[in-house]
Amino acid sequence: MVSVHTSPLSQPGTGDAGGLNVYVVETAKRLAERGVEVDIFTRRTSAALGEQVQLVPGVTVHHIAAGPYEGLGKEDLPGQLCAFAAGMMRVGASKPEGHYDLVHSHYWLSGQVGWLAADRWRVPLIHTMHTMARVKNAQLADGDTPEPAGREIGEEQVVAAATKLVANTPGEARELIELYGADSSKVEVVTPGVDLDAFSPTDGAGRREARAHHGVEPDAQVVLFVGRIQPLKAPDVLVRAVAELVAEQPERRSRLRLVVVGGPSGSGLDKPLALQTLARDLGVKDVVDFVPPVDRSALVRWFHAADVVAVPSHSESFGLVAIEASASGTPVVAAAVGGLPTAVGDGGVLVEGHDPLDWARALGSLLDDDARRAEFGERAVAHARQYGWDVSVDRLLDIYANACHDDASTDIDASRALAGVPSAIVP
């Protein structure tokens, strides 16, 4: 696996770490459980990181030196792809001939390197976009920076080079075909999953314990946002929505809480305190709490402590936070974009657009209806049970096997053709 710009060892919610990191970790672990050895290649960002780190038995993370460890943004990484590829080739050269059966690259930067590696090692290239420039640019948040043309060109090249393209949802598959001209026969849909052991519902006692652990009042109405703080994820919509709720019903102020769990990322790094400033300017500084990114156990407690989890993103290829919240039994209010309708299912509410008034109404009506929230919570758990990571990995293994078989058949055809043997006689 190739994940150039973000390490699977990084804490989701910090820097560029998010759903992609979770995807790589969870699929790699389960592939190893099935006897598939996995090497993950990622860029080294600290001298303290070892060149090789075992994630779990059977999964090794290789930290490749490509540019300075600190101070490089994701937009600077195209200039380091040659150095990264060279480091990856050195690792490959230390392995026996034919050691790697295939390359699975994640995000377009990784696809560029994966393309070279797959070509060098004469193996299939499987690629997962995770996000796409043309989709993001079509749904850009106000004031956000468009993705550059160079990324669009790079994505087109990877789409053309890949043996198979893995889309998170049927909608993303259509976008690959319609926006990037992907060959429909190369596109496969594999819905991401959720760790059903880690994310599971709780009872009333568990909810009280979770609230006490995080210092949340027993009678508080809690809206939870989890993710990187940047315009794409639209946490500002929630700050404006709670301001609308308080303005319409001032008595809410003493109980209403918006909890934002995450750190600035991407274009949000330009104004890291913009959300705090917005809360102050709108007069709801006392209603909004900011919490740094947390580990999985603390995140589960936050899901249990919340009444509603809100996912107002302008673009999401799937929405792992939504499915994790659902598995935890917490209803979701999400934007009706990308893969979020698939992730939410009938376990929550979808909001068209990003008008704070619409979000205030959706959140307020759910916060004020205990029976409706409980019903959505039960539906959410049932919906999430269909999306365990084991299901995703079983599907990936089928795609890997077919790609390797097709690749081997192509090699046989090519060798016979070179020898003057008609390929039609190959069984």
Is 127 marked within a binding site?
A: no
Is 304 marked within a binding site?
A: yes
Is 139 marked within a binding site?
A: no
Is 18 marked within a binding site?
A: yes
Residue 260: strand pairing partners: 225, 290
Is 284 marked within a binding site?
A: no
pTM (2 d.p.): 0.88
Give start-end residues of each CATH 3.40.50.2000 domain in the chain. Answer: 19-190+391-418, 204-386
Is 151 marked within a binding site?
A: yes
Average pLDDT over every residue of 144-173: 95
- Contact assessment for residue 277 and residue 270, using Cβ atoms and an 8 Å cutoff: no
pLDDT per position as a tens digit, 4-17:
988 888 766 556 66
Is 271 marked within a binding site?
A: no
pLDDT of residue 60: 97
Topology annotation, domain 204-386: Rossmann fold (3.40.50)
Is 16 marked within a binding site?
A: yes
The beta strand positions in 133-185, using DSSP E, are 164-167
DSSP state of 16: T
Is 95 marked within a binding site?
A: no
Residues 6+ apart with CB under 8 A from 60: 38, 39, 40, 52, 53, 54
pLDDT of residue 14: 57
pLDDT per position as a tens digit, 25-73:
999 999 999 999 999 999 998 888 889 999 999 999 999 999 998 878 8
Is 164 marked within a binding site?
A: no
pLDDT per position as a tens digit, 72-101:
888 889 999 999 999 999 999 999 999 999
Tokens of 168: 């998170």
Is 306 marked within a binding site?
A: yes
> Of 309, 287, 310, 276, nearest to 220 (Cα)?
287
Tokens of 171: 């909608």
Is 236 marked within a binding site?
A: no
Residue 270: which pLDDT band, with cuts at 50, 70 and 90? Answer: low
Superfamily for domain range 19-190+391-418:
Glycogen Phosphorylase B; (3.40.50.2000)
Please check the confidence at residue 142 and state whether its pLDDT lies above 90: no
Residue type, 136: K
